[in-house]
Structure formats: C-alpha cells, structure tokens
Amino acid sequence: NAINYIGLTDLIIQSHFLSVCGKPALNTRIVGGEEAPPGSWPWQVSLHIYNHICGGSLINDQWVMTAAQCIPSLVTVYLGRQSQEGSNPNEVVRKAAQIIIHPDYNPGTSNNDIALLKLSQPVNFTSYISPVCLAASNSTFSSGVNTWITGWGNIGSGAPLPSPQNLMELEVPVVENSQCNSSYGGNIITDSMICAGLQEGGKDSCQGDSGGPMVSKQCGRWIQAGIESFGRGCAEPNIPEVYTRVSQYESWINGVINGNQPGFISFKSSGTASCTIPPTNQAIAIAPECEYHVFFPSY
C-alpha cells in the first residue's frame, strides 16, 4: 500500500507509537549525572557481535535505528540493558532479522550515516523498554538547545581504552552547523548532520557510542535529533561531536518500515513549546512549535 503523509499544525490524530514514544516511566532527568539510573533511557539498545560495538535506539516495537558504520555483519540486539558486565533482569535479546543501510551512505565522508535493523521478533514495551520519538522533517534545533547523549563508549584514553560497565549519560548543547564546520576546517558538515558538544571539552561521546541517540525533551516528549556518527578525538575543546540529523530521514524511514511507523514530532526551537497529549486516536490542539506527523495507508 502507498503511504500518504499528513501533517497538521493545529489538529491531528495520533498514531499508536506516537501515543507511547518518548515517555520513559522512570526518567526524571532535570540535571545530569554521569551514570544513568536504570530505565532512564528505555529506547537505548546495545549492539553486539562478540561484545558491545555500538549503540542504537528503539523506534517502534520491531525496528532499531543506528549508524550505518555500525553494521559490518549480523548483530545481536540487547534491549533494556543497564550493565555490560553485571546482571540485567529487565533485558530482552533479539537477533537482527533484516538490516537496511541508507543507499547513499558514504563511509569516507560519513554522510547519510544511518541504518535500520528489524528485530527477529517484536518486543513488548515495559518501563525499561519503550520507543523514542523522532524529529520530523521540518524540525529545527538551534544552537544552544540542550540535548542528552547516552551509551557505553570509552570514558578515557590510554591502552586498553577504559569503558564503563553501566550506561552513561551526558547533557550537551547543540552547536550550529556553521560553527561546527569551522571547527572541522570547512566543507565537512552537511545539512544531514547536526553537532553538539561543550565548548570547554572534557566530556563527550567516544568510541563505542556510535549509533546511539542524541535526544532532547521538547513538548513533554523525548525526541531523537541525532545519531552519534563521528568526531575528532574525544572531548577536545571547541571540537563538537557530529551526529546524523534524524529529521532529514523521515521519508526514508517511513518508506523502509511497512506499517507501524514511528512517532515523528516536529520541533522548532524558536519559542516555548507546550503540548497536551490526549489518549490515542483523539484530535488534539497543539502549540505551533510542535507538529505531529502521522502516516495512514491508502487503499
């Protein structure tokens, strides 16, 4: 069936996954720590070949979004995982039944660094496993907007590189593309990328965090704005990390996933966003900063 796009700025009808995405039951983040409390980021997944190689995010009950660079071969997907070494009582494990890498992914430039994994079986949502909302195609995340990055990537330098046992979290501001491009010497950062980082450095994502989500709480929902892609070193001053800009791929994602499309929310960072989320399938009035995109099959 063909998929028709419907986006209304005043009234809209929610899709199933829009009614549940981006609302972690156990997340009360206001200011950040270092180690994420269990259940804080229930869309976070860990991709393994023999050990953890990359992060990713659950976007509906059977699809995970990650970076294209993270998919050299078939992977095992761990959902609801907190620790890479200890026990994980809330964990569910799935194989990747299908892997879709963006057809225009360029490993040399890291442009279009995005891939989708279909799980071998759907997962049931719990307080520790639930999907994130995604930034819709006309979203804007201006410089200074606060975002959170999460993962099990390296936490220092040296040999061997130290990596954390538990899922880590960090709050970082968006850096506008022109400034980010200047930091990288120009002609590096494209419109399909978004940057974030601390000007003073010292804290950042690093090896092992690739593919993981960069999210921002807007309209009362956690919206994924970026996918961890690349950087120059780790936590260097004035060198932001570069992420795949999720909003550029709304059409591609919905073209790959047949039915049960993820929940897309359009956020414009000029102005204060406020939204009221009613029960599923009810018409809602929303603030102009936030727009819900719902896809209906046409017959």
Res 110 pLDDT > 50: yes
pLDDT recorded at residue 215: 95
Res 5 pLDDT > 60: no
Note whether 263 and 133 are within 8 A (CB): yes
For the chain, the straight-line distance linking the first and the last C-alpha, in angstroms and rounded, comes to 7
Mean pLDDT in residue range 12-27? 69
pLDDT recorded at residue 102: 98
Whole-number percent of the chain with pLDDT over 70:
72
Give me the amino acid identity at 89: P
Question: Is residue 256 within a helix (H) or strand (E), and if so which, with residue range?
Answer: helix 250-256
Mean pLDDT in residue range 246-263? 93
Given pLDDT bands bounded at 50, 70 and 90, which one contains residue 267? confident
Cis peptide before 160 (omega within 30 of 0): yes
The pairing of beta strand 221-230 with beta strand 115-119: unpaired
Which 3 state secondary structure label does DSSP give 49? coil
Chain-wide mean pLDDT for the chain? 79
Mean pLDDT in residue range 40-67? 94
Given pLDDT bands bounded at 50, 70 and 90, which one contains residue 266? confident
pLDDT digits (tens, 9 = 90+) for 159-172: 455 556 888 888 89
Handedness of CA 124, 225, 268, 8 (dihedral sign): negative
- Would you give the distance in Å from CA 69 to the centre of its chain? 15
Which 3 state secondary structure label does DSSP give 17? helix
pLDDT digits (tens, 9 = 90+) for 88-99: 999 999 999 999
Q: Rounded CA gap, 263 and 143, in Å?
A: 24
Beta-ladder partners of 218 = 221
Of 207-216, 238-247, 289-298, least confident by mean pLDDT is 289-298
Decide yes or no: CATH 2.40.10.10 for domain 15-265: yes
Question: Is residue 135 within a helix (H) or strand (E), and if so which, with residue range?
Answer: strand 133-135
Could you tell me the pTM of the whole model?
Answer: 0.83
pLDDT digits (tens, 9 = 90+) for 223-237: 999 999 987 766 555
Res 239 pLDDT > 90: no
Q: Rounded CA gap, 93 and 124, in Å?
A: 12
Of 4-13, 268-277, 285-294, least confident by mean pLDDT is 4-13
DSSP character for 179?
H
pLDDT recorded at residue 236: 58
Beta-ladder partners of 264 = 134, 293
Higher pLDDT, 281 or 227: 227
Given pLDDT bands bounded at 50, 70 and 90, which one contains residue 2? very low
pLDDT recorded at residue 170: 87
The domains of the chain are located at: 15-265
pLDDT recorded at residue 284: 35
